[in-house]
Each structure stands twice: as structure tokens, then as C-alpha cells.
Structure 1
Amino acid sequence: GTYYYANNSGYIQTGWLHKGSWYYLDQDGKMVVGDYYINDQYYYFNSNGDLQLGWYYRDNQYYYLDSNAVLVKGWNKITNKWYYFNDQGIMQTGWQLINNQWFYLNASGDMQTGWLKSCNKWYYLNKSGVMVTGWAQIGWKWYYFNEDGAAVKDDVVIDGKTYTFRDDYSWISNCTRKEFVERAKRYLGCNEKDGSFKKIIDSYNKLDPLPRGYKVKYTDSWCMTFVSAMVRECNLLDIIPVECSCGKAVEKAQAMGIWQENDAYVPQIGDIIMYDWDDNGNGDNTGWPDHVGIVAEVNGNTFKVIEGNKNDAVEYRTMTVNGKFIRGYITPKFLS
């Protein structure tokens, strides 16, 4: 039937009417139901004439009307989830190309982030929901996604160079001992006085997640932070522990089975030396590790070490095998 509303004066009312819910009466006073445009704005009134707010389902499609009963379009955050509505206000699902970027919206319309398996392929959607292509560091590992966004595995040629990826799609670094040392050499001379050391701290803080959740400050000691930053940049996180604490790094190295305390050990380039300033060189391997560096050169019984935070800079130090101050070594298992 057709409904009208007479006000207290007995006149048939037109326009908006609020009686618990909002209603709209057309120019003839008829209560509106269904789709209706008012001042070029779309509204929807249910079969009882109530102005629709929030979600509604019609013709196998979902729509959403905001608190002003306006049909939403484009991106909208609803109850802490992101949805996308096309130009007709229809909620979208599945893969969607929006402004030349791919997104994935699940069957409920929620924008997805993180890892996604679709058609037996794995994809990664960043924090903004955008499908990732090319190289991406996720957690402590590197991955490569082809032009279609699918993660690659096994041997893959990228820009003319062959890379190997595990069954979990993570890249197996082929960084050598020499390349690890060469990476550290790039930072020689960086210091606190001119602020150039800050890029080392910034590099370390790109670890995700950060070890123990701690973000290193520019005012912190940064010797182990330097070593860990080089590990991150060379993608050696599978074989060398990352930390900003020397003591914690030793604990992790022991758990990995790569800790060496033999005073007579002759290090290789790429090994990581831990110092104990109270060590007297007579087999005392029980002190706290105070400092750390990367072995850069070995010549008989002497070797050179690159250290961060040495005199507030990245500098060399020359050491002697079985000499004073050696707490032990982290001995990574490089592929070559």
C-alpha cells in the first residue's frame, strides 16, 4: 500500500520525517521505499520506509550506507577493516586493479595483507594491501616476486644473474666471506662526529622484527649493531645471528653451533671476533663479551679486524692469534 503522514495540523507532510527512523515523503506525500535520489544524492529505504544505514544486501550484491545514509564508493574503513566499492557502490571481492595497483579482497570484502595463496601460487600484499613485485624483504628473509606477483623458487635468472630460492620461496644468499668483508669496508671512516655512522644504525633498524623488539638509538653503543647491519645487507641472517648486544649474539651463536672459544684458533676472513677487555690471553674464556668486529685479513698469526664504534668510528684493529682480549669467535658456515 501507499503510506502518508499527516502532521498535528492535519496536513499531509512531505520531505524528511523522523519517527524513530528517518523516512522520506515525496512531493505528493507518499512514503518512499527502495532506491531514491534526493538533491542528486542516492538513498535507500527498506520495505518499511526506514532509511537504510550500514550494510545492505540486494540482487546478490553488498552495499554500505554511511552514518549520513550516503552510499559509499571507493575505499572505506568499516569496523577497522578496509573495503572497496565500485562506482555503483557495490562491494568488491577477489583481485582488483585499483589505480594501477593490485589488491585482494576476500569473500567478505576485507582487504588482505601479508601472504596470500591464490590458484596454487603465493603472493605478498604489503601493509597497504598492494601486491608486491620484484625483490622484497619480509621478516629477516628476501623473496622475489615476478611481474604477476607470484613468488619464485628454485633457480631463477633475474637481470642476467642466477639466484636460488628455497621451497619456502626465500632466497639462499650466495654472499661469500670476501663479499661480507667488502661490504663492511664500505663503511670504514663512518663516525659519530659527522653523523655518518647513523646510516649503520638505520640499516640495523630495518630488521623486521627487530631482535627483542628493540630499536637502536643513535646514542647507544653500536659495535654489534654494525656487524648485524652488515649481516642484514648481505642477507646472511640464516648463518649469522643478528643482535645489538654482544652477549646475546654469543648466546645465539652457541645455540647455532658456530661459537669457537679455542685460543689457538686461527680465524678466517668473515669470522666475527668477540673481545673481553679483562682477558689476559691465558685461556680465560669466561668473561663478558665487551666488543666485536669482523675479521678482514689474516696473515699468519696476525689478523686485521673491522670494528664499529672503535673510537666512535668504523676502524681497523690488528690482533694476534692466542693474544690478549680474545673472548671467542662466531664462525659462520659460508657457502664459499
Structure 2
Amino acid sequence: MFLKNLLEKITHILGLTTPKKKPLFCPCCYAEEKCIGGSPYLLEDFQSIMTHFAQLNDHNADLLGEKFSKKDPFGIVFIHTEQNSDPIQGHNILIPQSIIFEDLQENVFYAICRIKDKCEWVQYAYYISDKKGHKWYDYIGKNEPVTDSRTIERLEKRLSVYKDLIITLLKKQEGKGKIVPKNIPISQQFHKEWLLLASLLSIPTRTANKICKSVLIEEEMFDTFLSEMIAADYLEVIDWKDVAEDVVYNYNLLSKRLKGTAIDLEIDNNTPPTEVFRLLASRSEFTLYQIDIDADSYFIGLCPKENAIAVQCQYKALFSVLDNQTSVTLIV
């Protein structure tokens, strides 16, 4: 009864409903947008499940649950497709995209949760105590990381069955031997991927939305994106003939935008930009990266060091939306 009342209260407070296409039994609550150390799960595999699930019509979404319960009577899987981070009753709360497992044998919930560009296994905290007086917000941020290999192996077998059922239902739904990708407007795809990149680059939401709005009204979206980033001092263009002091000056503009410390290099002005980049990178509190566009010019930017690999991957995801194969190189 305690669990039932808790879930009903959280669902009511968050305004969550359980429409046929997006079943949600119990949200997984984080205190902040930060992983807690659960075993990782591949982001690409996670996103594939989310994408395929979203393509199911209401009838097949219902049928998915019925078919899975016949194959796995002791487990239930739910998909939560949207992230919610709005404060509730004065409490900060993050409900991430997640694949949720209810284990009827163990009487416990597990989940694969997406936190920015990473996914991790966690165990829900809703069984901390049934002591009277506990409120729903007592459970925020109390989830436990799951690292036990046998538990994860068991859950991944369960997930494999679930994935196969989704694929089978999609094939029948489309009446074909292969899955037809859902046609999502490019504006929605760009907006989603850009906001994730902007977060990794430490660009304020207001600025990120302004850049996005400017890009989406133009036909040449890739060129407009670069122009907007340069205008906002999140990218700088260096010509191969630029003297060293100009390269350092442009670096410091980028660093200032991220509230970093300026670097003063005592260097021969004839030093090539590529060598200046390496010297700056060795002393920088950020990671210096280059967008590989023009052999005669260098498009450089900065990002927090802990986000460097994620930024490189997310640029690729963003550019792929624009059908552009331009790569990003980290300067070390």
C-alpha cells in the first residue's frame, strides 16, 4: 500500500499520465543531471530502442506488453521517452529518459537511465523504508548504482526479448520485411541534438535557443550555424597566415566566453597556427577542438575537458542531421 500511494502521489504531482503509447508505471528520480556510477549501457542501443518504440502505433504498444508478459511472466518493462527537469514544490528533480524493469520475483525496480550522452543501470530507491512520515521527495537522488554482472546479464536477456518483440511488431505494422524510419522534421531533430551539444559546450540555454532560432530560418543551415557560433564567440576562425599573437587573441576570446583564464604566450609571431594551437592546448584549462572544414582556415572552439569526447560525438550527431560529414578534431 505504501508503494502504491507513493507512486500515485508522484504521478499526480508530476502531472504524468499513462497514455497507451507511452506506458509509465513509476518514474526514476535523480537529484541532478549526473550519473551515479551504475554500469554503462551503450547510448546507441538505448536510442535505438527509444526510436523503434516511438514508431509503434497505440494498438501495437498495447500488444507489446501483452506479448512480453507471456514470454516473461515475472517481469514488466516500461519506456519513459521524455526527460523532465522542472522543479516541483521547491524540489529540484530530474526524471530522465529510461527503460524501466519491474522484477516481480524480487519486488524491485531497475532502470537504464540516460544522463546527457551516457546511460547507466540503477536500482530504484522506493523501498528505502515504509516508515510513516516519508514524503515522495525523500526518494529523490537515493537510487543505487547497479554493477553486479549477473543482475545486468539477466536484465539484458529480458531486454533482448523485449527488443525482438518491438522489431517483430514494427515489421507487421509496416507490412514489410524491414523497418521504415519515422519521418521526423529536421527542425525537431536539429533542436534536440543542438541543445544537447550546447549543454556540453556550457552555452546558456537562452543563447542556445537564440542560435537555434537563427539557424532554422535559413536554407543553408550548416553555414548559418557556423556564422552564429562565430558571432557569439563560441567559435573563432583562424587563417593559416595569421600571426601567433592573433591566434592567442582569438583563443582568449573563446576562453573569456567560458569564464576561463587568459593565456599569455611569449612566442615568435611567425609560429604557424597549428603549433600555437598545440602550445595553447597544453596550457589551457579547456579542451581546444577544430572543426575540419577548410584547408586554408581553422575553425576552433573550446569545451570543458570532461566533456571533450562527448562534444566530438555530439557534433557528429548534429552535423548528420544536416546531412554533413564534417568531423571535429580534439587538439592535444
**Would you say same fold, with TM above 0.5?**
no
1 or 2, which has the higher strand percentage? 1
1 or 2, which has the higher helix percentage? 2
Normalised to the residue count of structure 2, the TM-score between the two structures is: 0.26
Query: Is the radius of gyration larger for structure 1 or structure 2?
Result: 1
